[in-house]
Amino acid sequence: MSTQSDNQTASAVNRSSGWVIFVFFLIGLIASMITGWTAFPKLLYSTKEQPIDFSHKVHIEQLGDCRACHFFRDDGSFSGAPSLDECKDCHMYPMTGNPNEQKFIEEYIEKDKEVPWLNYAEQPPCVFFSHAAHVKGSDMQCETCHGDMGHSDSLREYQENRITGYSRDIWGYSMLPIGEAEHGPRQKMNDCAACHLKKTGSKGDCFQCHK
């Protein structure tokens, strides 16, 4: 009799300790999820402000489309962010009472200093990317990769990976590719390869995108 009751109490202890372990596992899981999804990205990325804030929307309204400032040079290369000379064409003297424009003229135009823009889509130095191949060769739109920049009223913050020094836009804002990202899709190698495989039937050879 006594051995039977001993067994019963032992199995009851085992059952309750199973619950305790499960609860602790759950607490640990939730804690690591919060750390991984919320705390770690905050720790990994430092946030920077662009040197001058401006509205893409206003510029598009005035100038028509993206190509007014981001254009192809005659040799097929892409200009990227406009240089000070291009900005000077319009902003040599104040056009509006905007304090950002005031700051731009005082700090950069009058001192003849290039604006150190932070490039959201700056690729690592081993990557070759041809705007001509995508925009001219296969008629892609700017929004497909860069998101709807043209309708933004101010420049969003730039997030820099503290370890690699690259922009967060490369790694992306979500671990899982769920839905359309607000700032355009991720730009990791596999993302490029997936699209190339879909559109051209091949991921391409190494030298197509590497240098």
Partner 1 sequence: MTKQEQHTSTKRYGMVIDLDRCTGCGACMVACYAENNVPFSKDESDKMLTLNWIRVFKVDNGKPFPDTEICYIPKPCMQCDGEHMDGHSPCVSVCPAVATDYDHLTGIVSQIYTRCFGCRYCMAACPYHARKFNWWDPVWPAEMEKYLNPDVSVRMRGVVEKCSFCYHRYQKARNKAYLEGRDEVYEDEYQPACVEACPTKAITFGDLLNPEHQVYKLSKSRKAFRLLEKLNTNPKVYYMTSKKWVRRKTDNYIENESPGETRNSSKTQKASH
What are the residues binding partner 1 (CB under 8 A)? 72, 74-77, 124-126, 128, 130, 132-133, 136-139, 200, 205-208, 210-211
Start-to-end CA span in the chain (Å): 80
Q: Which is nearer to partner 1, 69 or 155 (CB)?
A: 69
Of 91, 141, 85, nearest in space to 114 by CA: 85
Pairwise CA distance, residues 49 & 183, whole Å: 16
Residue with smaller CB distance to partner 1, 15 or 73: 73
Cα gap 19→184, rounded to integer Å? 44
| Least distance (Å) between residue 163 CB and partner 1 | 16
Do the Cβ atoms of 106 and 81 come closer than 8 Å? no
The number of helix segments (H) and strand segments (E) in the chain equals 10, 2
Q: Which two tokens stand for residue 116?
A: 């150190």
Min dist. Cβ of residue 59 to partner 1 (A): 24
Nearer to partner 1, 166 or 173 (CB): 166
Q: What is the Cα–Cα distance from 164 to 162, expressed in whole angstroms?
A: 6
| Minimum distance, C-beta of residue 58 to partner 1, in the bound complex (Å) | 29
Task: Name the minimum Å distance from CB 114 to partner 1.
Answer: 16
Residue number, 36 or 137, with CB nearest to partner 1: 137
